[in-house]
Amino acid sequence: MTAEMLIPRAQQPRLERLLDAFRVVVLHGPRQCGKSTLARLMAEARGGTYASLDDDTTLDAAMSDPVTFVSEQQLPLVIDEVQLGGDRIVRAVKRAVDASHQTGRYLLTGSTHFLTVPTISESLAGRVAIVQLWPLSQAEMSAAANPHEGAAAHSGSPAGGTLAPAADATLRGWFDGEPDLGHRASTERSGYLELLCRGGFPEAVRMGPEGRNVWFRSYADTVIRRDIVALGDIRRGAALPRLLELAAASTSSVVNIADWSRRLGIDRATVESYLEWMRRVFLVHELPSWGRGRIGQATRRPRLHLADTGLAAALYGLDSAALRPPTATMTGALVESFVANEVARLLTANDMNVSMQHYRDKEQREIDLVLEQPNGATVAVEVKASASPRSTDLQHVRWLRDRLDAVAAGSFRCGILLHTGTAAHRMGDRLYLMPIDSLWPQRT
């Protein structure tokens, strides 16, 4: 990747802080999301060593003598794709850090939640900080394209210009009950559809639609074969590609394992096992159900989102033109996943300690995103693919506001309806309409 192509990552400042505080930091996320580029830059900036276990020669050397491999190189040592080294490498790291309390010694990257992989028994508990890296967010890409906000994007520097203050301030404004009503939208509905089909994988972002679709399908095939089948020792994984297509078609929906089992012709336990592996390799993520005892009879089933809407659209065979008609059935689901992913990217780039969940109860009340801080402060978010949202679209958020006011006064901070239009208005007590692009800084 050339210097002019580098987009500074929002996680970089947090990664720096954690390396200064912990002996081991794990940077994990999906393949091709930019982990290796960021990790290599961190090693160079700190005068350390970069070693990728994706390279067969490096992997052979590491596996033949793990203790020497992790202890006799210039620190900090970046071990890229560490899950390929399995338990032997992780145990060697544990042995090395137990001999010294020096911070910033190891940066491990992985394309799986590798500390939950069954073949790795050592968790590094008490020694490690874990950082999630997603594909590029719109905030990162917009800041990089804005010469005032992201000048470092054109210098190849990993420092500075990572996430514009306006984007980081968005979530804080929500929890303060003061969304930015002065925001001026610059994205039309058709523009959002193009953005969600493009997704955030750096390689795919640079391609045109035709090449991008080929890239996404090749990507899915590679992750299934190299990460799920190999690491999971799955001998009969022919259903995995079809399961991923079902997940793409079900993005932003509550998972129905029984239905998937019937459609795939495999037992429920196998479907659940395969879906868990898709979580481990970051193809999908799930939002748990939010609920408090005195709020309502919330259902407990999670809501599934594909981790990148470009991948979801490609697997479902859709482009922005197919999503444009009002009758297009997948548009609403993909726009919801697009927003869920953007909010998740913002949350992992700051230290606000906010959980993201969804709400659904037996009375069919649903709220797409419920954001909550440990002190109970709550923000409810609805997402609509419409450019002309209505007040009734906030009815379930309004209900939640009133319920929380009755049982936990002061905890409901605001309700936001994010939409594909341009309006930014107050819609009543702590209720607001905001354009989706209020989640990222605008290009100048």
Look at residue 25 and tell me whether its pLDDT is greater than 60.
yes
- Token pair recorded at residue 79: 């071990």
- Token pair recorded at residue 100: 């010294």
Report pLDDT digits (tens) over 356-415: 999 999 889 999 999 999 999 999 999 999 999 999 999 999 999 999 999 999 999 999
Report pLDDT digits (tens) over 289-342: 998 666 767 788 899 999 999 999 999 999 999 999 999 999 999 999 999 999
CA atoms of 225 and 220, how far apart (whole Å)? 9
Report pLDDT digits (tens) over 62-84: 999 999 999 999 999 999 999 88
Overall CATH class of domain 3-132: alpha beta
Report pLDDT digits (tens) over 178-207: 998 988 889 999 999 999 999 999 999 999
Give the chain's largest Cα–Cα span.
Answer: 66
What is the pLDDT of the chain when averaged over all its residues? Answer: 89
Res 143: pLDDT: 81
* Helix 165-175 and helix 331-348, axial crossing angle in degrees, nearest 10: 100
Quote the pTM value. 0.91
| Sheet containing strand 284-287, strands side by side | 253-254, 303-306, 284-287
**What share of the chain in percent tops pLDDT 90?**
72
Res 357: pLDDT: 96
Name the DSSP letter for residue 414. Answer: E
Look at residue 153 and tell me whether its pLDDT is greater than 90.
no
Report pLDDT digits (tens) over 201-240: 999 999 999 899 999 999 999 999 888 887 777 776 789 9
What residue spans define the domains of the chain?
Answer: 3-132, 167-439
